[in-house]
Amino acid sequence: MAKPTVEVGILGLGRIGASFGLALKRYNASKDARQTFVITGCDDNTAHADKAKAMGAVDSVARSVYETSRDKAIIIIALPYSSVQPAYREIAGAARDGAVIIDTSPLKLPSLAWAEKGLNDRGRGAHMVGATMILNPAYLFDGLDNLDNAHADLFDKGAMLIAPNAKSVPEAIELVSDLAEIIGTKARYADPDEHDGWVAATEGLPVLLGLAAFWSLTKDQGWSDAQKQGNPALGRLIHHLYDTHPDDLRDLLLNNRANLIAKLDKFTQTLGTLREILATNDSAALEEALIETTDAAHLWVTNRKENKWKDDPRSPQVDTSNLLISNMFGSLIGKRMKSDKNGSDR
């Protein structure tokens, strides 16, 4: 019996988008696959799109958001952040009723507003669910956020942080949760407002640190000589300035500015404390700060690698051989095929 097919559109074929495609292709090749995902992708950079196809991340390449989204059951948004809001206008004109849109943009509150306006203005019955990909800890310290660093296992041993709101359709949330299992990760859940506060700490603040450091360095009189000594420590600090467009960084920072200002105020206080420690040559205070923070950093890395956290509200592990993405009641939903004696669906 032929497997059912699920049409997927991936908007943006950078590291996240291409890895989504590779993970779905890995599932297609598994002996337990209950369906076949057929993937169309697009990227603003046509060379990237063609390279993603050559890598096997997509089956076909489209040349627009509209074409990629048209009549797809699942639409995955992995675009540069400044391109997300205008993309919703094209998605709204192309998405079929019942489609599920998975928005992996770094901030969820703005995307929820853009989706509600764009989809409602066109009267579409598509359902948007925000999701942030927490990557495989094997790649925790690796490099650039680009296509060359896409991997089928990028999401393994990580998590998909799903951030629905009160208007999210339960069946759409269930589909996204099931899809997380299919690509090798686990579903976790967060309130969108809480999520964006976390992003200020884990994404926005590192961007600001790299920006501030390099902005200061390049205006320093000794930079012309110092830059010749640059090594991976500096490269890791400023990688956002190299692998992400300034427009995307601008929107990430400004759209989350209230949360970022709160984090920045606390960080500025800490910098002031460190400056005072250095200025007074307070070896004991510096050693105390280093030991305390190093211990905390090692604990975080250990927990991140083991993917185990206290009070973790994750769903129980699910056998992906029992997952089927299908159509019901005119909408696309995810359903786990129960293996009870009646063989009934959940």
Buried b (16+ CB within 10 A) or exposed e, 70-109: bebbbbbbbbbbbbbbebbbbbbebbbebbbbbbbbbbbb
Per-residue model confidence as pLDDT tens digits over 187-225: 999 999 999 999 999 999 999 999 999 999 999 999 999
Q: Are 151 and 183 in contact (CB under 8 A)?
A: no
Residues 257 and 324 in one domain: no
Residues 92 and 12 in one domain: yes
What does the pLDDT read at residue 76? 98
For the chain, give the mean pLDDT. Answer: 89
Per-residue model confidence as pLDDT tens digits over 282-308: 999 999 999 999 999 999 999 999 988
Q: CA 310, CA 213: separation in Å to the nearest integer?
A: 34
Query: At which residue do the structure tokens 């076949």 appear?
Result: 36
pTM of the model: 0.88
Among positive and negative, which fits the CA dihedral 12, 14, 16, 17? positive
Q: Are 94 and 126 in contact (CB under 8 A)?
A: no
Strand duo 187-189 + 323-328: pairing: unpaired
288 in any annotated domain = no
Q: Are 313 and 189 in contact (CB under 8 A)?
A: yes
Residues 151 and 199 in one domain: no
Residues 255 and 148 in one domain: no
110 in any annotated domain = yes
Domain containing residue 266: CATH number: 1.10.3660.10
Q: CA 9, CA 21: separation in Å to the nearest integer?
A: 9
Residues 198 and 155 in one domain: no
Q: CA 108, CA 199: separation in Å to the nearest integer?
A: 10
61 in any annotated domain = yes
| Residue 242: how many other CB atoms lie within 10 Å | 13
Residue 190's nearest CA partner among 136, 115, 130, 252 is 130
Per-residue model confidence as pLDDT tens digits over 238-249: 999 999 999 999
Residues 45 and 179 in one domain: yes
Strand duo 323-328 + 331-336: pairing: antiparallel
What does the pLDDT read at residue 264? 96
342 in any annotated domain = no
What does the pLDDT read at residue 313? 54
Residues 183 and 200 in one domain: no
Domain containing residue 325: CATH number: 3.40.50.720
Residue 133's nearest CA partner among 161, 91, 97 is 161
Query: Which residues constitute the domain of residue 141?
Result: 5-190+313-336
Residues 112 and 244 in one domain: no
Number of domains in the chain: 2
Residue 107's nearest CA partner among 150, 149, 161 is 161
Residues 207 and 245 in one domain: yes
Q: Is the pLDDT of residue 70 over 60?
A: yes
Looking at residue 245, what DSSP letter applies?
Answer: -
Give percent of the chain with pLDDT exceeding 90. Answer: 80
What does the pLDDT read at residue 145? 86
Residue 86's nearest CA partner among 192, 11, 18 is 11
118 in any annotated domain = yes
Residues 59 and 170 in one domain: yes
Residues 108 and 184 in one domain: yes
Q: CA 243, CA 146: separation in Å to the nearest integer?
A: 7
Residues 49 and 178 in one domain: yes
Domain's final residue, options 230, 256, 279 = 279
343 in any annotated domain = no
Q: How many helices (H) and strands (E) does the chain have?
A: 14, 10
Domain's final residue, options 279, 301, 323 = 279
65 in any annotated domain = yes
Q: CA 336, CA 261: separation in Å to the nearest integer?
A: 43
249 in any annotated domain = yes
188 backbone dihedrals φ, ψ, rounded to 5°:
-125, 165
